[in-house]
Structure 1
Amino acid sequence: MSEWTDAIVGERMTVDTEFNDRVMASRFSSQEWGLIMTAAEFEIENSEDPEAARIVADTSNLPAIMPELENVRSQVAAIGGGGGPDGASRGSGGTGDGILDSIKGALGLGGSGGSGGTTDEELEAAERLLEEYAEELQAHLEQVGKWDQVRVAYQE
């Protein structure tokens, strides 16, 4: 099944570049998004039906990597890279609160309301962003005339 994704590496690189603006506007930094993407696998639902076929993200591995997002944030904060659009979008108090929250989270001192709340919220945000990416990838493949070829390759 990975042959179909190997065949569209160049197209994915194009979509990655175009999708970067959405990542920057999200709650995730580019490093965090990279980690999220490593946990996602893409599949084609209804591949045999040209009208109903669509690329979807299998997010079943996401829960396993979500705790690692805090490690990424802690590393970025430790080297002084806590500013930027991702820090500003995380909290209404600006980048200072984002860094402090990240450090508290890394130390297990929690933030909003106990265990799991932020992780569940972030998991949902990551899933939504992956869904958007899958839609963007399919739209791009359709635009460049490769969708049917990819859909058929998935079936093989």
Structure 2
Amino acid sequence: MSNQWRDRLAGARMQVDKRFDDRIRTSEFTNQQWGLIMTAVEFDIDNPEQPESAELVAKTDQVEHIIPELDNVPQGMGGAPMGQQQSQGGSGDGLLGKIRGFLGGNDDSGQSDEETLQAASALVGEYADELQQFLEEEGQWTSLCESAAAAK
């Protein structure tokens, strides 16, 4: 039962993803990179016992672990499922990208991993706000908060 509210949140996320597409297009991230970022994000509700003051929070603690991989996503993705690229074994670009990451970030963009992490976290925060707004507009927020409070 503890994941019931998260299952309901997943359905809303699919609808918000469509609304958020324009924001992703104007960001520094590709759709594939955004998808990878979102795999590292977990959502929680702060203060679900009081829906009127509760807040949907995106926990981005794990995002830092995928930042070095963002450089590898656009290269070779060309429509191939994400798992295929990883299962093909390490290519020179993948290994070099990891070495560059250990030596101080991604040389191609001129942006450090810390700056990329900050940009990703800010965009995830915008997404969480949009998702909560959607849930409120659809009249789902109160019941979602009640389910989250019951699960704690």
SS at match of 2:45: strand
1:62 aligned partner:
63
2:108 aligned partner:
none
Flag as ranges the 4+ runs of structure 1 deviating above 4 A: 107-110
- How many residues of Structure 1 are paired with residues of Structure 2 in the alignment? 128
The alpha carbon displacement at 1:48 in A equals 1.5
Q: Does 1:106 align with 2:97?
A: yes
Q: Does 1:143 align with 2:107?
A: no
In 2, the alpha carbon distance for the partners of 1:18 and 1:142 equals: 15
In 1, the alpha carbon distance for the partners of 2:56 and 2:71 equals: 29
Pick closer, same or farther for the CA change 1:109–1:13 going to 2, 3 Å: closer
In 2, the alpha carbon distance for the partners of 1:38 and 1:73 equals: 16
Task: Name the TM-score, length of structure 1 as normaliser.
Answer: 0.74
1:51 aligned partner:
52
In 2, the alpha carbon distance for the partners of 1:136 and 1:75 equals: 31
CA contact 1:74–1:106 (8 Å) conserved in 2: no
Pick closer, same or farther for the CA change 1:64–1:141 going to 2, 3 Å: same
Identity of aligned residues (%): 42
Q: Does 1:75 align with 2:76?
A: yes
SS at match of 1:44: strand
RMSD over aligned Cα atoms: 2.1
Please say which of residues 139-148 and 2-11 is displaced more in the overlay: 2-11
